[in-house]
Amino acid sequence: MTILVTGGAGFIGGNFVLDWLAKSEEAIVNLDKLTYAGNLETLSSLEGNPSHIFVQGDIGDVALVERLLAEHKPRAVVNFAAESHVDRSIHGPGDFIETNIMGTFRLLESVRGYWSALPDADKAAFRFLHVSTDEVYGSLAKDDPAFTETNTYEPNSPYSASKAASDHLVRAWHHTYGLPVLTTNCSNNYGPYHFPEKLIPLMIVNALAGKPLPVYGDGMQIRDWLYVKDHCSAIRRVLEAGRLGETYNVGGWNEKPNIDIVHTVCKLLDEMRPKADGSSYSTQITYVTDRPGHDRRYAIDARKLEKELGWKPAETFETGIRKTVEWYLANPTWVANVQSGNYREWVQKQYQAA
Ligand code: NAD
Ligand code: TYD
C-alpha cells in the first residue's frame, strides 16, 4: 500500500513524512516542487529508505501526477503543497493563486480521473485529504467564540483567500463528483524544520544571531499554536476515520499574543544559551510597522475532532515550545543551510546520485 503526499519537503509535510515512516510500513510517494520553502535536507534521514519515493514536481503538472497515480496506485492523497506565508502573499499574490487555487484544481482533476477508474472496493476506500488553515475563517474579536467548522469563510489576505478557494474546490469535487474528500483546518503550527520566515523560528534564529526581533504593530495579535507533530497525528486520525466530505478543525487551545510568544522564546534562550554579557535576548525586541490587513485573532474550537475521532494533542504549549527551541539549538547546520541556500546545492548532488 502507498499514499501520495504533496508538499512533503515543507515544514508540516516534512514532519508528516518522517512521522508516518517511523510508525508505518506503508510507502510514501512525496511530490514536491522544492520552492524556496521545500527542503530535502529535512528528509535526509530517509536516504536509502525504499519506502520514501521523492519526486520533484508541481501538483499542477497533470501529466506527471497522472503518471505517478498510475504507477504507484496510492490508496490516498494528502495535499500539503501550497504557498504558505502571509507576508509573501501580500508582496506577490500570483504564486498563491497559481499553486493554491489552480494547482489544487489540477490535482483534483488528476485524482478524479484516477479514482473514477478504480475497481469498486478501491474506489470506496480511497481518500483525498486536503490540509488547510484556520485563516480561511477570517479574524476574531477579543471575546468572540473560537472558530467551529460552521463558521462562514471570511478570508482577509491573499494567502487565506487562496486557501479558502482551494477548500471550496475540494468541497465541490465531493458534492459534484463524489470524490471521497476530507478537509482539515488547523491553527498556527510550530516545531522542528520550520522555515525561519515565520514568527517562532525567525525569533529564535534572529535572537541567536544578535539581530532585532521584529514584532509587528502592538504585538497583541493572537494566534492559536499547535505543535506540528500533533497536527500530523490529527491528519493521520482524520485519514483513518474521518467522515467523507467533512471538515475538521485542528487546534490545541493555546491562544497567545505574539509578544508573549516572543518573550517565552527569549526566556528559554536566556536559560539554555545565556548571552555572554548576561543581558536577556528580550532586549533585542523591536516594534516595527504592522502587516497590512493584519488579522487580530485566530482561535480554533477542535471539539468535533476530539469527540468524533478521539484525537487529543500530546504537547502543551510549554512542552512544545521547549522542544522547539532545543531543536533549533541542536540543529544549527540545518538553519545555516536553509538561510544560505547551501541546501539547494545539496539537493542537486542528491539528485545526481539518485
Ligand atoms: P511550507 O511553505 O513550509 O511548505 C510547502 C511545501 O509545498 C514546500 O515544500 C514547497 O516546495 C511545496 N510546494 C509549493 N508549491 C508547490 C507546487 N505547486 N507543487 C508541489 N509542491 C509545492 O508550508 P507548511 O507550513 O508546511 O504548510 C503545509 C500546508 O499546511 C499548507 O497547505 C498550509 O496552507 C497548511 N497549514 C499551515 C499551517 C502553518 O502554521 N504552517 C497551519 C495550518 C495549515
Ligand atoms: P506568521 O508566523 O507569519 O503566521 P500567520 O501570519 O500565518 O499567523 O505570523 C504569526 C504572527 O506573528 C502574525 O500575527 C504576524 C506576527 N509576526 C511578527 O510580529 N513579526 C514577524 O517577523 C513575523 C514573521 C510575524
| Residue 134 is among the residues annotated as catalytic for this protein | yes
pLDDT(317) > 90: yes
Over the chain, what is the mean pLDDT? 96
Grid cell of 17 as nine digits:
513524512
Ligand 2, pocket-test mutation among 223, 264, 287, 298, most atoms within 8 A of CB: 223
Domain assignment of residue 117, yes or no: yes
Beta partners for residue 179, in sequence order:
none
Q: What is the pLDDT of residue 354?
A: 43
Q: What is the pLDDT of residue 299?
A: 98
Q: Compute φ and ψ for 224, nearest 5 degrees.
A: -110, 115
Q: Kindly identify the ligand whose nearest atom is closest to the C-alpha of 107.
A: 1
- Catalytic hit among 32, 41, 109, 134: 134
pLDDT(112) > 70: yes
Residue with cell 500570483: 94
Q: What is the pLDDT of residue 215?
A: 97
pLDDT(176) > 60: yes
Determine the Cα–Cα distance for residues 349 and 354; give it in Å rounded to an integer: 9
Q: Compute φ and ψ for 15, nearest 5 degrees.
A: -65, -40
- The model's pTM: 0.97
* Pairing outcome for strands 188-190 and 181-186: unpaired
Residue with cell 476515520: 241
Q: What is the pLDDT of residue 346?
A: 58
Grid cell of 300 as nine digits:
480554533
Beta partners for residue 249, in sequence order:
185
Side-chain half-sphere exposure of 327, counting CA atoms within 13 A: 18
How many other C-beta atoms are found inside a 10 Å radius of the C-beta of residue 103?
27
**Under 8 Å CB-to-CB from 260, ≥6 apart: which residues?**
none
341 vs 80 pLDDT, higher one: 80
Determine the Cα–Cα distance for residues 327 and 96; give it in Å rounded to an integer: 30
Domain assignment of residue 141, yes or no: yes
Domain assignment of residue 54, yes or no: yes
202 C-beta closer than 6 A to ligand 2: yes
Q: Kindly identify the ligand whose nearest atom is closest to the C-alpha of 290.
A: 2
Q: What is the pLDDT of residue 243?
A: 98
Q: What is the pLDDT of residue 99?
A: 98
Q: Compute φ and ψ for 3, nearest 5 degrees.
A: -120, 150
Domain assignment of residue 260, yes or no: no
CATH number for the domain harbouring residue 304: 3.40.50.720
Q: What is the pLDDT of residue 352?
A: 59
Q: What is the pLDDT of residue 214?
A: 96
DSSP code of 230?
H
**Under 8 Å CB-to-CB from 108, ≥6 apart: which residues?**
128, 169, 170, 173, 179
The tally of domains found in the chain comes to 1
329-352: string of b/e by CB count within 10 Å (b at 16+)?
eeeeebbebbeeeebbeebeebee
Domain assignment of residue 242, yes or no: yes
Domain assignment of residue 77, yes or no: yes
350 vs 127 pLDDT, higher one: 127
Mean pLDDT across the stretch 150-166?
Answer: 98
pLDDT band of 343, cuts 50, 70, 90: low
179 C-beta closer than 6 A to ligand 2: no
The protein residue with its alpha carbon nearest to ligand 1, atom 12, reads 7
DSSP code of 103?
I
264 C-beta closer than 6 A to ligand 1: no
CA of 215 to the centre of ligand 2 (A): 8
Q: What is the pLDDT of residue 339?
A: 85
pLDDT(353) > 50: no
Ligand 2, pocket-test mutation among 83, 258, 285, most atoms within 8 A of CB: 258
Helix (H, G, I), strand (E, B) or coil at 96: helix
Given a contact cutoff of 8 angstroms between Cβ atoms, the answer to whether 316 and 322 are in contact is: no
Share of the chain above pLDDT 70, in %: 96
245 C-beta closer than 6 A to ligand 2: no
13 C-beta closer than 6 A to ligand 1: yes
Mean pLDDT across the stretch 271-297?
Answer: 97
pLDDT(351) > 90: no
Domain assignment of residue 354, yes or no: no
DSSP letter string, 167-199: HHHHHHHHHHH---EEEEEE-EEESTT--TTSH
Among the listed residues 299, 323, 294, 309, the one whose alpha carbon sits nearest the alpha carbon of residue 187 = 299
pLDDT band of 350, cuts 50, 70, 90: low
pLDDT band of 340, cuts 50, 70, 90: confident
Q: What is the pLDDT of residue 102?
A: 98
Domain span holding position 305: 2-189+225-251+295-314
108 C-beta closer than 6 A to ligand 1: no
Domain assignment of residue 270, yes or no: no
